[in-house]
Structure 1
């Protein structure tokens, strides 16, 4: 079964729904069935998104994407610099 990518807003909504089910006295397994995710996914989401508001989660994901983009740019520039240094020394 292909995995479905959930948006941060959806994840927070499902976590809130699970918390309501748990507050009503249900088990974690029942809450996970209700929101249609595995217990492992529930605990991973709770660790990452627990206590966040929707806009905070969206901002966090945007910052993570920007961070990846900047790291890639730095690695490209570092590689270019090393190539130019080696070419300048005549070791090619």
Structure 2
């Protein structure tokens, strides 16, 4: 399928298409799914770490330790 038709079908600009192709062109479908899962898991873990760090700050403030 020509690039212009593919971009029109998915509502992308050609520049965006080529940028994404350069970034993810080497990935096959199973790798892309795994990458998406890992990105979701990483975001969840970052939120958990932020919550724990906030709890630590609150506890230190309550105990009066700098």
Shorter chain as denominator, the TM-score bin is 0.7 to 0.9
| Runs of 4+, deviation exceeding 6 Å | none
Structure 2 gap segments, 5+ residues each: none
- Aligned length, in residue pairs: 62
Structure 1 gap segments, 5+ residues each: 1-16, 22-30
Q: Greater relative contact order: 1 or 2 (C-alpha under 8 angstroms, separation 6 or more)?
A: 1
Bigger fraction of residues in helix:
2
Question: C-alpha offsets along residues 48-85 of structure 1, whole Å, 9 cap, x if unaligned?
Answer: 31111000001101100110110011001000001001
Q: TM-score, normalised by structure 1?
A: 0.59
CA distance in 2, matches of 1:47, 1:80: 41
CA 53–83 in structure 1, closer or farther in 2 if over 3 Å, else same: same
Q: Which residue of 2 aligns with 1:83?
A: 58
Q: TM-score, normalised by structure 2?
A: 0.80
